[in-house]
Amino acid sequence: MGFADAQPILRSCADPPVAPVAPQVFAFYVVAIVLDPTSPGGINSPYGLIVFDGVCVLCSRGCRFVSKRDRRGYFRFVPMQLSEGRSLAEQLGIDPDHPDSFAFVAAGQAYVKSEAVLRIARELTGWQWTWVFHFVPRLIRDVIYDLVARNRYRWFGRRDACMLPTPDRSWPS
């Protein structure tokens, strides 16, 4: 079964969490998050974790874009509508029921909005050039990010069910 034949996994957002979150505190600016140090995104993990809006078509397409270019198998994904993603989103100040951002957690550090986008891009082969956008002040980058985030359902659509990664939190191929 090739990539073109693959069917996305759509399930209810009420499914149990992919993996438990165990206590270990890491700081993100002034926000502390509780994360198992060996789970994706943890300080001792070889994986980065993308916490995304599972019903957002743009977000799901973004995760698929990342997965297709992730030659190292570095990224793992969890929708914020699942309890594990919900917990992380809430700790980062994101309302999982009305998200205004997604998050990227790597090596115990969490990033949101435009910073998350740029941190993810620099991990992708052929996209490291995007570091130049760090010269644009974060305030300006985040204003543009917020504009897209506010309109994403209207411009790209919304699913009735969550787009879910595979049990190991990789994206379905």
Structural domain includes residue 53 = yes
Those residues of the chain that have pLDDT short of 50 are 1-32
Structural domain includes residue 173 = no
How many residues would you count in the chain? 173
Task: Report how many domains make up the chain.
Answer: 1
The residue segments making up the domain with residue 76 are 3-163
Structural domain includes residue 118 = yes
Structural domain includes residue 101 = yes
pLDDT digits (tens, 9 = 90+) for 87-104: 889 888 899 999 999 999
Structural domain includes residue 172 = no
Give me the pLDDT at residue 160, please. Answer: 83
Structural domain includes residue 93 = yes
**Rounded-to-integer distance, Cα 173 and Cα 30, Å:** 37
Q: Under 8 Å CB-to-CB from 122, ≥6 apart: which residues?
A: 128, 130, 131
Give me the pLDDT at residue 168, please. Answer: 67
Structural domain includes residue 168 = no
pTM for this prediction: 0.78
User: What does the DSSP assignment read for the chain?
Assistant: --GGGPPP-EE-TTSPPSSPPPP-EEEETTEEEE--TTSTTSTT-S-EEEEE-TTBHHHHHHHHHHHHH-TT--EEEEETTSHHHHHHHHHTT--TTS-S--EEEETTEEEEHHHHHHHHHTTSTT-GGGGGGGGS-HHHHHHHHHHHHHHHHHHH-B-SSEE---TTSPPP-
pLDDT digits (tens, 9 = 90+) for 38-63: 778 877 889 999 999 999 999 999 99
Structural domain includes residue 170 = no
Give me the pLDDT at residue 34, please. Answer: 64
